A = this chain, B = another copy of it.
Amino acid sequence: MSLHDQDGGEPRPPHQLRTEEDEEERAYGVDPDFVDSVVDLLDANRVGEVRAVTDDLHAADVADLIEQIDPDHREALVEVLKPGFDAEVLSYLNPDLREEVVEAFEPKELAAAVAELETDDAVDLIQDLDEEQQREILENLPPETRALVQENLTYEEYTAGRLMQRDLVAVPQFWTVGRTIDYLRSGAEDLPETFYDLFVVDPMHRVIGTVPLSRILRARRSVAMAELQNDDFHTIPATMDQEEVANLFRQYALVSAPVVDAGDRLIGVITVDDVVHIIDEEAEDDFFKLGGVGDASIYRTVIDTARSRLKWLGLNLVTAFLAAGVISLFSATIEKVVALAVLMPIVASMGGNAGTQALTVAVRALATRELSSSNAPRVVGKEVLVGLFNGVVFATLVGLIAGFWFGPAIGVVIACAMTINLFVAGLFGVMIPLALDRFGVDPAVASGVFLTTVTDVVGFFAFLGLAAAFLL
Chain A positions within 8 Å of B, measured between CB atoms, are 1, 3, 5-8, 10, 26-29, 31-32, 35-36, 56, 58, 60-61, 64, 67-71, 94, 181, 184-185, 187, 191-192, 194-196, 206-208, 212-220, 231-237, 240, 244, 247-253, 255, 262, 264, 272-273, 275-277, 279-280, 283-284, 286-288, 290-293, 296-298, 302-303, 305-306, 309-310, 312-313, 316-317, 319-321, 323-324, 327-328, 331, 334-335, 338-346, 348-350, 353-354, 356-357, 359-361, 363-365, 368-375, 378-379, 382, 385-386, 389-390, 393-394, 397-398, 401, 452, 456, 460
CB pair A36–B374 under 8 Å, yes or no, is: yes
Q: Are A350 and B253 in contact (CB under 8 A)?
A: no
Interface centre among A217, A277, A296, A343 (most CB of B within 10 A): A217
Q: State whether B345 touches A320 (Cβ < 8 A).
A: yes
Closest-by-CB residue of B relative to A452 is B349
Among A31, A184, A303, A353, chain B packs the most CB atoms within 10 A around the CB of A353
Question: Contacts A234-B3, A302-B386 known; A252 to B60 CB distance under 8 Å?
Answer: yes
Q: List 15 A-B contacts (CB under 8 A).
A: A3-B235, A6-B233, A26-B369, A27-B240, A28-B234, A28-B251, A185-B218, A284-B364, A287-B360, A296-B361, A309-B386, A327-B342, A334-B338, A334-B341, A335-B335
A236 to B7: give the CA distance in the assembly, Å: 14
Of all chain B residues, the one with the shortest Cβ separation from A263 is B1
Copies of this chain assembled into the complex: 2
- Whether A287 and B283, one on each chain, are in contact in the complex, defined by CB atoms closer than 8 angstroms, is yes
Q: B184 contacts A218, CB within 8 Å? A: yes
The residue that A357 contacts in the complex, of B185, B219, B291, B298, with Cβ under 8 A, is: B291
B residues less than 8 Å from A370 (CB atoms): 67-68, 94, 297-298
List of B residues within 8 angstroms of A312 by Cβ: 353, 357
Q: Return chain B residues, CB-CB under 8 Å to A181.
A: 217
Beta-carbon nearest neighbor of A346 in chain B: B320
Closest to A4 in B: B234
CB pair B375–A70 under 8 Å, yes or no, is: yes
Contact A231 B10 (CB under 8 A): yes
Q: Which residue of B lies closest to A237 (CB)?
A: B1
A328's closest neighbor in chain B, by CB? B342
B255 near A291 with CB under 8 A, answer: no
What B residues does A394 contact at CB under 8 A? Answer: 313, 317
Least CB distance, A391 to chain B, in whole angstroms: 10
A323, closest chain B residue (CB): B345
The smallest beta-carbon distance between A5 and chain B, in angstroms, is 7
Q: Contact: A382 with B305, CB < 8 Å?
A: yes
Inter-chain contact B249/A276, CB cutoff 8 Å? yes
CB proximity of A111 to chain B, nearest CB, Å: 24
- A401's nearest neighbour on chain B, judged by CB, is B321
Residues of B within 8 A of A58 (CB): 232, 251-252
Contact of A212 with B235 in the complex, beta carbons under 8 Å: no
Question: Would A253 and B372 be within 8 Å (CB), given that A292-B360, A342-B328, A386-B305 are in contact?
Answer: no
CA of A286 to CA of B364 in the docked complex: distance in angstroms? 11
Provide the bound-state CA to CA distance between A70 and B375, in Å. Answer: 7
Chain B min CB distance to A291 (Å): 3
A194 / chain B contacts, CB cutoff of 8 Å: 212, 214-215
Cα of A454 to Cα of B31 in the assembled complex, Å: 32
Tell me, rounded to whole Å, the shortest Cβ–Cβ distance linking A322 to chain B.
Answer: 10
Bound Cα distance from A145 to B212, whole angstroms: 25
7 shortest A-B CB distances, which residue pairs?
A291-B360, A283-B283, A341-B341, A253-B273, A213-B213, A320-B346, A306-B389
17 additional contacts, CB 8 Å, given A28-B247, A291-B361, A309-B390? A3-B235, A7-B232, A32-B373, A58-B251, A60-B251, A68-B372, A69-B374, A71-B378, A194-B212, A250-B276, A275-B276, A283-B283, A291-B357, A291-B359, A323-B345, A328-B342, A331-B338
Q: How far is the CB of A400 from chain B (nearest CB, A)?
A: 12
Nearest chain B CB to A429 CB, angstrom units: 10
**A316 near B350: Cβ-Cβ < 8 Å:** yes
A255-B272, A298-B375 given; A353·B240 CB < 8 A: no
Q: Which residues from B are CB-within-8-Å of A8? A: 208, 231
